[in-house]
Amino acid sequence: QVQLVESGGGLVQAGGSLRLSCVASGSIFGIYFMGWYRQAPGKQRELVASITNGGSTNYAESVKGRFTISRDNAKNTMYLQMNSLKPEDTALYYCKASAQGTTGRTYDVWGQGTQVTVSS
C-alpha cells in the first residue's frame, strides 16, 4: 500500500504564494496517477491538478495559469506551486494517488489534507 503525507498549507494574503508537498511512501512503484484535490466548507471535493507517470498534467479551469503541479521522482514527492492566490482558493487540500498493487488490483489513497486559507 501507498501512504501519503501533505504539508505546506497555511495562511496567506490574496496575491501571495504557497507550495504544497505530498510525500509518498510504501509501494510507490505501483503509482500511475497523482493529483491535488480541494474541498471548501459546504462544497464538494474537486480536482485541482493532476499528473501522470508520463508527465501529462491537467488543471481545473479556475487555477490554470496560477498553479503548477510537478513531481520529483527521486524524492517520491509531488508539489503544487500556487501563485496569485485568491480568497476562493481557501480549502482543505488533499493529495491522492492511484496505484496498482501486485495482484493487479487498482486502488486510491488519500492524504490527510492540509489547510490553505487566503485572506482578502
> Per residue in 34-75, pLDDT tens?
999 999 999 999 999 999 988 999 999 999 999 999 999 889
Q: What are the cell numbers at 21?
A: 508537498
b/e burial code for range 37-47 (CB count within 10 A of at least 16 → b): bbeeeeeeeee
Do the beta carbons of residue 5 and residue 112 sit within 8 Å? yes
Measured from the Cβ of residue 108, the count of other Cβ atoms closer than 10 Å reads 11
> Which residues neighbour 2 within 8 Å (Cβ) at sequence distance 6 or greater?
24, 25, 26, 27, 28, 30, 31, 97, 99, 109
Q: What are the cell numbers at 8?
A: 505546506
- Give the whole-angstrom CA distance, residue 60 versus residue 50: 9
- Give the whole-angstrom CA distance, residue 101 versus residue 106: 6
| pLDDT 10s digits, 60-113 | 999 999 999 999 988 999 999 999 999 999 999 999 999 988 888 899 999 999
